[in-house]
Amino acid sequence: MTTKDTAEIKELLNEREGFHKWWRLMRPHTLTASFVPVFVGTMIAFNEGTINWLLFLAMMIASLLIQAATNMFNEYYDFVRGLDNDQSVGIGGSIVRDGMHPERIRNIALIFYAISIGIGIYICIVSSWWIAIIGLFCMAIGYLYTGGPIPISYTPFGEIFSGVLMGSVIIGITYYIQTSAVTMEMIWISIPVTIFIGCINFANNIRDRDGDKRGGRKTIAVLLGRPNSINLLAFLFIAAFAITIILILIGILPVWSFLTLLSALPAIGVIKGFKGKTQAIDMMPAMKNTGKTNTIYGLLLGISLLISGLL
Domain boundaries, the chain: 14-303
Contact at 8 Å (CB) between 261 and 287? no
Q: How confident is the model at residue 2 (pLDDT cuts 50, 70, 90)?
A: very low
> Smallest Cα–Cα separation from 196: which of 163, 168, 160, 221?
163
- Please provide residue 13's backbone torsions phi and psi, each rounded to the nearest 5 degrees: -90, 0
Q: What's 74's DSSP letter?
A: H
pLDDT of residue 25: 76
CATH 1.20.1530 describes domain 14-303: no
pLDDT of residue 4: 42
> Smallest Cα–Cα separation from 161: which of 137, 185, 183?
137
pLDDT of residue 3: 45
Contact at 8 Å (CB) between 273 and 11? no
For residue 121, the surrounding DSSP H or E stretch is helix 102-126
Which tens digits make up the pLDDT trace of 107-165? 999 999 999 999 999 999 999 888 999 988 988 888 888 887 888 989 999 999 999 99
Q: Is 59 exposed, middle or buried (0-12, 13-18, 19+ CB in 10 A)?
A: buried
Enter the pTM of the model: 0.88
Q: How many helices (H) and strands (E) does the chain have?
A: 14, 0
Q: How confident is the model at residue 170 (pLDDT cuts 50, 70, 90)?
A: very high
Which tens digits make up the pLDDT trace of 33-65? 889 999 999 999 998 887 899 999 999 999 999
pLDDT of residue 7: 58
| Pairwise CA distance, residues 109 & 164, whole Å | 22
pLDDT of residue 24: 75
